[in-house]
Amino acid sequence: MRRYETIAIIDPDLSDEEREGVLERTTNLIPKEGGFLVMLDEWGNRKLAYEIKKKTRGYYVRIDYCGMGSLVDEMERLFRIDDKVLKFMTVLLEKDADTETIKEEMAKAKSEAEAEAAKKKAREAENKADATDEVPEKNSNSDIDPVPSESPETETVEAEKTETETTETEINKEEK
């Protein structure tokens, strides 16, 4: 069995339902012809390098699959018949693809993606919890005066900056 990659550019003016119809017909064809779908990657609307059928934008889709030459022939025949597909190109990735290895890689990638999604969700929940904990309560009857702008902390920082600048200036003079 061979591994192929097909990039198709679909009319960007189609509704989501019409676009899904084209993609569904394509993905349903793969198992009918004895192949299997590795990945369907929708890149979305992008600007075309040149005008195709008076369109300057296109909806890009990458289909990675395993199958035989008859599958590619039938898929390309459907793309040529369908006016919703502006352009397509199929590339042979592997002549002798090991389907078991590919399926294992797919399962591993899926589990890693799920783990990453769970970590991301946990981080977002933690950040959200931290954000709600850090919000100070505003008390309008507070007897505490705000920190004056000429606090000793501010003076210390300014003094440190001045000493640093002086030191850098002295070093520059010594180098000359």
**Is 80 exceeded by the pLDDT of residue 44?**
yes
Cα–Cα distance for residue pair 58/10, rounded to 1 Å: 6
Domain region containing 66: 2-102
Which structure tokens are listed for 145? 């005066």
Q: How far is CA 7 from CA 20, 21, 79, in A?
A: 16, 17, 11
Q: For residue 165, what pLDDT is reported?
A: 52
- List the single range of 31-40, 66-75, 121-130 with lowest mean pLDDT: 121-130
In a domain, 92, yes or no: yes
Mean pLDDT of all residues in the chain? Answer: 80
In a domain, 128, yes or no: no
Q: For residue 159, what pLDDT is reported?
A: 47
50, 98 in Cβ contact below 8 A? no
Q: For residue 154, what pLDDT is reported?
A: 46
Mean pLDDT of 88-102: 86
In a domain, 7, yes or no: yes
In a domain, 70, yes or no: yes
Number of domains forming the structure of the chain: 1
Which CATH number belongs to the domain containing residue 56 in this structure?
Answer: 3.30.70.60
In a domain, 98, yes or no: yes
Cα–Cα distance for residue pair 140/40, rounded to 1 Å: 57
**Taking the model in full, what pTM does it have?**
0.62
In a domain, 136, yes or no: no
Q: What is the pLDDT of residues 139-167, one digit of tens each?
A: 555 555 555 555 445 444 444 545 555 55
Which distant-in-sequence residues (6+ apart) come within 8 Å of 18 by Cβ?
A: 84
Q: For residue 167, what pLDDT is reported?
A: 54
